[in-house]
Amino acid sequence: MRNSGFFLVAAVICVSFLTAFPQTTPQKAVQQKAQPMLDEATMVKQKINFASLPDSQHIRTSRGTVKTVGQIRKEFQDAKMALEAKAKSMESKSLMDFQTYRQKFLSSQSEVKRNLAIQNARLVARVKGAAPSAGNNAPKLNLASSITTPVITSIDRDHGMFGEAVLITGSSFQTSPASVMFMVSADTWKDGGISYWSDTQIIATVPDNTGNPDYDGFLMVQKALGKKSNPVRFQITSDQDVILLSGTGANVSLDCSSIPGVANGCIYGNEVLHYDVESTSDIMVYHTPADPADFVFDGCGAIDYLWQNLTLKNGWIVDKVLMTKVEGQTNPLDFLEVTPLVLGTNNPTQRVAWSFYKQFDEHPPYMGMSYLAQVYIRGPKGVPYK
């Protein structure tokens, strides 16, 4: 019995000693050296700066997974590079699509001109065929008839483009061709080509006005000795072209005043880096954190105004609008809402409302809202739009 008591006391002393001085296993040693684990919700609440954390820091995400800061940074940068590569690819394809669109437009313009040449020839043939043959009874040019002022009574169209024929009807034009003058600007007149001339009818062609906007002016007949007819209202329409509206000077703004549920910019801290990449032919907008340091927030939303306060000049109008979201970086809760432009107007201002939400362990982890904006505009070739 004494021996049993001795062993019992010894066992108690041994257990007490082990409890007071616990053994350090290799696994526990690693855990002790590792950074204390942070919870994502705690980081948001305490506004802990992600950039100040070491790569070895462990973070428990809102979905319960554990990642190191280094792992999050690596995933972030990889996803960011993939996004930018995809955006550039989208932009390249969109530019090729525009070139195809423009080529079709210019081809249609060429077809119009070919048809004009056929129509002009038919018009001349028709007018000549209907005109009585003068033969030996053709009126002779004399001083009295040359002094008579020519009079235009009608024209068969009140507008036309370069090379288009205009049938002018009136009296006292004489039989010797002189000139038909077209007003192409406030102080400039140009001589149109002549396809047919008689004392009562003239077929003239609209002169080249490339490099100038459409002009609502007049035409008149001018006789060989300088007598001019009454002016008749006529609008010269220029050759048309289609171009991409330049991205330079776009106003990409952070305006959250009318986004439901979003106040003071981003929902947490207004830390999102708001930036855009502009080219001379379109706008690629990125609304994303620039670094994981800006990654600790719940989401962000705002309204962009593209080409704000720009009014197209010199007859240029909005022809087509393309807004394309860069996919693969958002979740189903994100949205991109675009106020449609009215085609055929000279106001290209585009209103774009957007928002996005994030999780550390979203796939991909790089959250944001990025989109490509393109506006095709149509107007007189060689004439500036602003």
pTM: 0.68
Residue 171 belongs to some domain of the structure: yes
Residues recorded for the chain: 386
- The pLDDT of residue 156 is 92
Residue 293 belongs to some domain of the structure: yes
- 374 pLDDT above the threshold of 80: yes
Lowest mean pLDDT among 41-55, 125-139, 175-189, 348-362: 125-139
- The pLDDT of residue 271 is 37
User: Per-residue confidence at 288, pLDDT binned at 50, 70, 90?
Assistant: low
Residue 133 belongs to some domain of the structure: no
Rounded Cα gap, residues 236 and 226, in angstroms: 24
- 131 pLDDT above the threshold of 80: no
Rounded Cα gap, residues 185 and 218, in angstroms: 10
**Residue range 296-307, pLDDT digits in tens:** 455 666 777 788
- pLDDT, mean of residues 94-122: 87
Assess whether 272 and 227 both reside in one domain.
no
User: Token digits for 236?
Assistant: 């010269």
Q: From residue 10, give the alpha-carbon distance in Å to each of 15, 17, 179, 386.
A: 9, 10, 131, 98
Assess whether 248 and 264 both reside in one domain.
yes
Assess whether 229 and 251 both reside in one domain.
no
Residue 164 belongs to some domain of the structure: yes
- The pLDDT of residue 365 is 55
Assess whether 226 and 315 both reside in one domain.
no
User: Token digits for 285?
Assistant: 């907008």
- 82 pLDDT above the threshold of 50: yes
Contact 247/279 with Cβ under 8 angstroms?
yes
> Under DSSP, is residue 225 helix (H, G, I), strand (E, B) or coil?
coil
Q: How many structural domains are present in the chain?
A: 2
The closest alpha carbon to 347, from 372, 377, 302, 380, belongs to 377
Choice between 11 and 312, residue whose per-residue pLDDT is larger: 312
Choice between 30 and 295, residue whose per-residue pLDDT is larger: 295
Listed residues 203, 223, 238: the one ending a domain: 238
Residue 222 dihedral angles phi and psi, to the nearest 5°: -120, 120
**Residue range 326-347, pLDDT digits in tens:** 765 555 566 777 888 889 999 9
DSSP codes, 9-51: HHHHHHHHHHHHS----HHHHHHHHSPPPEEHHHHHHHT--GG
Q: In what order do the strands lie in the sheet with 299-306?
A: 299-306, 350-357, 335-338
Q: What is the DSSP letter of 346?
A: S
Assess whether 259 and 301 both reside in one domain.
yes
| Burial class of residue 32 (count of CB atoms within 10 Å of its CB; 0-12, 13-18, 19+) | exposed
Q: From residue 6, give the alpha-carbon distance in Å to each of 1, 14, 16, 191.
A: 9, 12, 16, 131
- pLDDT, mean of residues 54-78: 81
DSSP codes, 123-173: HHHHHHHHSPP-GGGPPPP-HHHHHSPPEEEEES-SEEETT-EEEEEEE--
What range defines the domain where residue 256 resides?
78-104+243-380
**Residue range 166-180, pLDDT digits in tens:** 999 999 998 878 899
Assess whether 151 and 82 both reside in one domain.
no
Residue with tokens 């024209």: 155
- 130 pLDDT above the threshold of 50: yes
Choice between 292 and 313, residue whose per-residue pLDDT is larger: 313
Listed residues 189, 218, 238: the one ending a domain: 238
- 253 pLDDT above the threshold of 60: no
> Under DSSP, is residue 194 helix (H, G, I), strand (E, B) or coil?
strand
User: Per-residue confidence at 189, pLDDT binned at 50, 70, 90?
Assistant: very high
Residue 27 belongs to some domain of the structure: no
Assess whether 287 and 210 both reside in one domain.
no
Q: What CATH number does residue 226 fall under? A: 2.60.40.10
- 28 pLDDT above the threshold of 60: no
Query: In this structure, which amino acid lies at residue 63?
Result: R
Q: From residue 284, give the alpha-carbon distance in Å to each of 17, 84, 331.
A: 69, 10, 20
Residue 127 belongs to some domain of the structure: no
Assess whether 203 and 305 both reside in one domain.
no
Contact 180/202 with Cβ under 8 angstroms?
yes
- The pLDDT of residue 72 is 80
Residue 110 belongs to some domain of the structure: no
pLDDT above 70 covers a percentage of the chain that reads 65
Assess whether 360 and 295 both reside in one domain.
yes
Lowest mean pLDDT among 103-107, 176-180, 272-276: 272-276
- 316 pLDDT above the threshold of 90: yes
Rounded Cα gap, residues 186 and 184, in angstroms: 7
Rounded Cα gap, residues 117 and 193, in angstroms: 13
Assess whether 200 and 159 both reside in one domain.
yes
Contact 60/39 with Cβ under 8 angstroms?
yes
- The pLDDT of residue 331 is 59
Listed residues 238, 267, 291: the one ending a domain: 238
User: Per-residue confidence at 76, pLDDT binned at 50, 70, 90?
Assistant: confident
- pLDDT, mean of residues 139-149: 56
Q: In what order do the strands lie in the sheet with 201-205?
A: 151-155, 165-171, 201-205, 193-197
Assess whether 226 and 268 both reside in one domain.
no
Assess whether 166 and 216 both reside in one domain.
yes
- The pLDDT of residue 182 is 96
Rounded Cα gap, residues 129 and 67, in angstroms: 90
- 137 pLDDT above the threshold of 50: no
Lowest mean pLDDT among 149-158, 275-284, 310-319: 275-284
Choice between 217 and 134, residue whose per-residue pLDDT is larger: 217
- Give just the sign of the alpha carbon dihedral 50, 54, 55, 61: negative
Lowest mean pLDDT among 274-283, 301-310, 347-356, 371-380: 274-283
- The pLDDT of residue 91 is 83
- The pLDDT of residue 267 is 37
- The pLDDT of residue 298 is 55
- The pLDDT of residue 86 is 83
Residue 14 belongs to some domain of the structure: no
